[in-house]
Structure 1
Amino acid sequence: MSVPLSILDLAPISSGSDAGAALRASVAVAQRAETLGYHRYWVAEHHFAPGVASAAPAVLIALVAAATGRIRVGSGAVQVGYQTPLSVVEQFGLVDAVYPGRVDLGLGRSGGKPTPVTETADRVVDGLLIPAPFDFSKLAAGPRFAAYAGLLRQPGAAPAPFAEIVDDIQALIAGTLTRDGLDLHATPGEGAKTELWILGSSGGESARVAGERGLPFAANYHVAPSNVLEAVESYRAAFRPSAVLDRPYVLVSADVLAAPTEERARYLASPYRHWVRSIRTGTGAIPYPTPAEAAALPWSDEDQALVRDRLDTQFVGTPAQVAARLETLRRVTAADELLVTTIAHDPADRIRSFELLAGAWF
């Protein structure tokens, strides 16, 4: 196909397993991805999720970098509202000092207000499903999220505006940050060869900041599919050439699962609805069940409505079917690169999915 393909990993914890096994599996997936020709291997940042082990991206990136030799490694994304710019630059600068030129620093907003929901119907744009948006406002307003934020931040702390955080991170890496007439420097971090990215799920602040600063932008189809076109359009409209890029560069993510047959792929993907439901009810991702375990779990029409947009936009099938849907996503968004994430109970099925997709894509 016509653009690079990369991987986003959450280090999912399977039912009956533990975080150590999940992290070792992620390293093994990254090693196989490198031999298959995937361009990047990014890890997410998730907290308070019993079924996800990627709570500290810089640490997991260092583990992956140590076990591989060529593939780019990075974050998709660091939640900068819960850290200071200095701590982010020092962490990623440390990894870059050992593995220079391989590290991507993906930044994402955290703790902001959800985008208001105005659309209520699905639409299809040139073959790509753009589902009606999920309303995150009730979830974000719940007491559980307030408790989470209280643990992730120091008492009384509040994040600076996202644009200011990005500017400080850029200045610390460049060695140009000043405060009250003082030159301030990060060691390690200053002069790091990290590639800076902005990730976003809407056409709001993240897309605008990425465009105005001439940085590459990753748009989120796998978690917020309803907003992907708005996000890439806003980024391109705001784009200004920089020392980093002379034209916009867009990466778009998607949930995928490939298997030798469509029936097998759908069987392996059957627990996905329960996993997404656990996230959207605010309890955090459950340990990923087996298909047999998932079949025994209760399921209602209300549950189906809660996760419908995610199910309808997960690309599940044979390698050719998944590749065709990815090509539609690339064509409609005009993406320069695609990022795929795959979850299955057995890590071997994840690796097999990436192998089959690589054979159809590269």
Structure 2
Amino acid sequence: MTALSILDLAPIPSGGTAGEALRNTLDLARRAEEFGYLRYWVAEHHLAPGVASAAPAVLIGLVAAATSTIRVGSGAVQVGHQTALSVVEQFGLVDALYPGRIDLGLGRSGQRGAELRASVEFSESEKTPPPPTPARVVDGLLIPEPFSFTALVKSPLFSLYGALLQQPGARSPDFADQVDEIAALLAGTYRSPEGVAAHAVPGEGADLSLWILGSSGGQSAQVAGERGLPFAANYHVSPSGVLDAAQAYREAFKPSKVLGEPYLIVSADVVVAEDDETARELASPYGLWVRSIRTGAGAIPFPTPAEAAAHEWTREDLALVADRLATQFVGSPRTVVEKLRVLRDVTGADELLVTTMTHDHADRVRSYELLAAEWEGGVVTG
């Protein structure tokens, strides 16, 4: 059966605090374990007033301590801002206390940020920019027009983000090289170009599951496939690229000691309630929250439905969030499960990674409970 897992950003609700959000995360993780979810991943976000998940390794340790059996991991550690050694030591430390339960998911945001800036500069130098890729529906799954990151890349916060996360003069190394260094440090086979061995303690020999996360058919999918690692494709943030990512991963895949065949997770934004109308009400602040990210202001504390209803939407606002709203799965358990099965079938996902945002913690917990009960007749297994 197709497993269900959770991605949590530790969202700070409007009127709440980071401490409240983190306590909610620990409570949700315990409840997710009861509901039968396979794994519980936490994201990495910085300079976001509405997100408390800024240090994945620390939060993963807290979640692992609060639970007993559910796998816990990162979705994803942004390795462009850290060295391979620091990542291995952090996760090796957590694994030493909770062996066999920790997933190390890697993302390439540092290198990706530099590429986005370069692509914006290039596109602005072109007299005739390429036409946008139109939206399409593939066997019932919406693949929207790709979102343009031009305005976001130009925002002051985007530049500050890179400056604060790296030492002056630092440069993000190639993602593939960092993945190889992390794998070598975990395996105890690392050698410098001069042939000097390095042994990470803790970290070497850790019983970690190494994952790659990506949003397109680019380097992340290629690296995951070529190294025979499991891959998580991002439908919930970059829905336009999910099919390209899945295809590129499978085409690049080579069997390894880890996997004999590809293993793909696909993410989705979901809000479930007892009926469609209630779910739509709970999900109504989502567009305003996405808008805060895409304007370059950073994720705001998650609004109440009343706060969201008071926002006066412009045509530009609606264009900013259109792809995310159109690909969020909202409704009763049956409504959402039908949509998730389409996502699974079209992408060929082996597992689905669900992220849910509501203002009230109880509504978020209930959403995951209702989904787990409806999925595969109430049975959620790996």
TM-score, normalised to structure 2's length?
A: 0.93
Distance, in Å, in 1 between the alignment partners of 2:132 and 2:29 is 38
Distance, in Å, in 1 between the alignment partners of 2:72 and 2:39 is 6
Equivalent residue number for residue 100 of structure 1: 99
Equivalent residue number for residue 171 of structure 1: 184
Equivalent residue number for residue 125 of structure 1: 138
Deviations 1:317-358 (Å, cap 9, x if unpaired)? Answer: 000111110000000000000000001000100000000000
Give the 3-state SS of the residue equivalent to 2:37 in structure 1.
coil
Question: Cα offset for 1:298?
Answer: 2.2
Question: Cα offset for 1:293?
Answer: 1.2
Number of positions where the alignment pairs a residue of Structure 1 with one of Structure 2: 361
- Tell me, yes or no, if structure 1 residue 312 matches structure 2 residue 326: yes
Matches within 5 A, 1:264-275: 264-275=278-289
Equivalent residue number for residue 225 of structure 1: 239
Equivalent residue number for residue 87 of structure 2: 88
Equivalent residue number for residue 138 of structure 1: 151
Distance, in Å, in 1 between the alignment partners of 2:20 and 2:317 is 30
**Structure 1: 4+ residue segments shifted above 2 A:** 114-120, 141-144
What is the aligned counterpart of 2:169 among 156, 180, 183? 156
Equivalent residue number for residue 41 of structure 2: 42
Distance, in Å, in 1 between the alignment partners of 2:362 and 2:234 is 26
- Tell me, yes or no, if structure 1 residue 252 matches structure 2 residue 266: yes
Which amino acid is 1:150 matched to? Answer: A
Deviations 1:237-257 (Å, cap 9, x if unpaired)? Answer: 000000000100000000000
Question: Cα offset for 1:171?
Answer: 0.3
Matches within 5 A, 1:272-291: 272-291=286-305
Deviations 1:58-113 (Å, cap 9, x if unpaired)? Answer: 01101100000000000000000000000000000000000000000000001322
Which amino acid is 2:183 matched to? Answer: Q
Question: Cα offset for 1:118?
Answer: 5.4
Distance, in Å, in 1 between the alignment partners of 2:239 and 2:140 is 14
Which amino acid is 1:44 matched to? Answer: A
Give the 3-state SS of the residue equivalent to 1:178 in structure 2.
coil
Which amino acid is 2:181 matched to? Answer: D
Distance, in Å, in 2 between the alignment partners of 1:119 and 1:101 is 45
Distance, in Å, in 2 between the alignment partners of 1:74 and 1:208 is 22
Which amino acid is 1:246 matched to? Answer: G
Computed over aligned residues only, the root mean square deviation of the Cα atoms, in angstroms, reads 1.1
- Tell me, yes or no, if structure 1 residue 30 matches structure 2 residue 29: yes
Deviations 1:97-135 (Å, cap 9, x if unpaired)? Answer: 000000000000013223788543210000000000101
**Any unmatched runs of 5+ in structure 1?**
none
Question: Cα offset for 1:299?
Answer: 1.4
Deviations 1:279-335 (Å, cap 9, x if unpaired)? Answer: 000110000011011111221121111100000000000001111100000000000
Distance, in Å, in 1 between the alignment partners of 2:58 and 2:210 is 18
Distance, in Å, in 2 between the alignment partners of 1:62 and 1:118 is 46
Deviations 1:31-63 (Å, cap 9, x if unpaired)? Answer: 000011000000000000000000000011011
**Any unmatched runs of 5+ in structure 2?**
124-129
Equivalent residue number for residue 126 of structure 2: none
- Is this contact kept in 1: 2:156–2:296, CA < 8 A? no
Give the 3-state SS of the residue equivalent to 2:271 in structure 1.
strand
> Among the aligned pairs, what percent are the same residue?
67
Which amino acid is 1:163 matched to? Answer: A
Question: Cα offset for 1:146?
Answer: 1.4
Equivalent residue number for residue 78 of structure 1: 77
Deviations 1:185-229 (Å, cap 9, x if unpaired)? Answer: 101000000000000000000000000000000000000000000
Distance, in Å, in 1 between the alignment partners of 2:285 and 2:93 is 38
Distance, in Å, in 1 between the alignment partners of 2:364 and 2:64 is 20
